[in-house]
Amino acid sequence: MNQDQSFPPQQQEPPGSTEQMTPTPDHGEESYVGSEKLVGYKALVTGGDSGIGRAVAIAFAREGADVAVSYLPEEEQDATTTAQWVRAAGRQCVLLPGDLQDEATARGVAHRAAGELGGLDVLVNNAGYQMARRESIADVTTADLDRVLKTNLYALFWVTQAALEHIGDGGSIINNSSIQAFQPSTTLLDYAATKAAINNLTVNLAAELGPRGIRVNAVAPGPIWTPLQPATQTEEKITSFGADTPLGRAGQPAEVAPAFVFLASPVTASYVSGTVLGVTGGKPVF
> Catalytic amino acids?
191
Annotate 17-64 with DSSP letters as a single string. -GGG-SSPP--STTT----STTTT-EEEEETTTSHHHHHHHHHHHHTT
Please name the helix (run of DSSP H) or strand (run of DSSP E) that holds residue 240, with its range, or none. Answer: none
- Tell me, rounded to whole angstroms, the distance of Cα 14 from its chain centroid: 16
CA neighbor of 251 nearest in space, from 275, 277, 276, 283: 283
- Spatial distance between the Cα atoms of 279 and 258, rounded to a whole number of angstroms: 10
- Spatial distance between the Cα atoms of 280 and 208, rounded to a whole number of angstroms: 28
- Spatial distance between the Cα atoms of 98 and 151, rounded to a whole number of angstroms: 12
CB 217 within 8 A of CB 275: yes
CB 171 within 8 A of CB 120: yes
- Spatial distance between the Cα atoms of 216 and 143, rounded to a whole number of angstroms: 31
Please name the helix (run of DSSP H) or strand (run of DSSP E) that holds residue 67, with its range, or none. Answer: strand 66-71
**At 129, phi and psi to the nearest 5?**
-145, 145
